[in-house]
Structure 1
Amino acid sequence: MEQVIRLPGQQYDEESGLYYNRHRYYNPGQGRYITQDPIGLRGGWNLYNYPLNPVSEIDPLGLSMWDDAKSGSCTDGFCNALSFIIGPSKFDSEEDAALDALKNINNQSICSGTEYGGLICKDVKNKYFATTPISGTNDGLTLSALACPQNTTNSADYHTHGMEEAGYENNKFSPLDISDNYKNYRNGYLGTPDGTFGKVDISYKTVTYQKNKLTDHCEIR
């Protein structure tokens, strides 16, 4: 019996000598596809190359990107299954996603005396997740350049306030923090050096704080 299946899941076409990859054909002699990538430049600058890493970068249909799974933007099929392995943790509530993100970064923020932050995004199945935090300075952070992945919406942001410093009210939202949340029409979450978890709720026009929800000291890990 002739074996027509080639790794990874390609099917050998006896008439053409090419490998069938669902949406296009691969030429094993040339080491490239014979037609352009159907997802265009979203798959990279080279429209004909093979990813070269079928072990860690898997795309059975050739229409999804590794980044889709890693960013959390996909919610169905194999991409969604892969996202459980390499993507962000997802939660039923925006607040839980923000709390998890701040629990993961507040220690580093206190140790370095640097503000960190990112966005809280909601996918099409109403699951929430945090983007990877970026760093700012000891007294500021700019999130304006950040965006949620495609097919998701931005519902909130989160940030930390570094370490305790004289002259700064590190354990509460600053007036600028609050005004930015209203200007951008999104809720805001805060992690402070004394372990407080804060929230600006723009719908209810409230600012609330929960004590002892986060680490309150620098722990070298």
Structure 2
Amino acid sequence: MQADAPPNVEVKLLLISRHCQGKHNAMYEEYISEGHGFSASEYKMEEQRIARHQPLFDPCLSPKGRAQATELASIIHHEMARGMPQPMHFVSPARRAVETWAAVWGGAAAGMAGENIIARSTATVIEGLRGKIHVHLCNARRPISVLRAEYPQLIIPLGTAENDPWWQPVHDCHYELSDENTILRALQARDAREEYRAGVVRQGGGGSRADYEAQQRRTNYQHHSPLLQR
């Protein structure tokens, strides 16, 4: 893309993905039949009822989620075979996001090298990639020490809270919009490089609107394979 860009235009590529299906998402499929007949608001209320009565703390990926991650890894593998370099990686500390990152990027790298090299892959953990934090227990995260023990290759910035600083059991938590720009600050610190690519796995959506609008103002934003937006 950079080779085809106009003069004085720098292309920076973000591969932003939501985590694959978590066990809490699978519960909705288990308890709500396909022909439920609910309106959109009724369906949302039923989801909330299930989340209250079937709490899962920082859930892992479901079997379907692991299959989705394997499929996405094959797409990344295909793009890497076409010449896409390994990007820098950023990930939410939510368990399902980290498991998605490990399966997708570790799986793609293993496919390229013919070996399991996930232990040599790394990503920077960014709290601000968690999205909106709802009252349901599935939105709480585990202590950072547990995450570090399971994935010692992760880069966890100094000052990252050991325990969840945002989730509260009594109400939905809305944090300041500026916190959602953490990923942009991390990328802007690398602007001096000739080029960069970043793979981002976040919780609660494929990238905040604040991320998109702020980055769009600064760069020539081009979409990559539509398969990577799944």
The TM-score bracket by the shorter chain reads: under 0.3
User: Which protein shows a greater Rg?
Assistant: 1
Normalising by structure 2, report the TM-score. Answer: 0.25
Normalising by structure 1, report the TM-score. Answer: 0.26
Identify the structure with the greater helix proportion.
Answer: 2
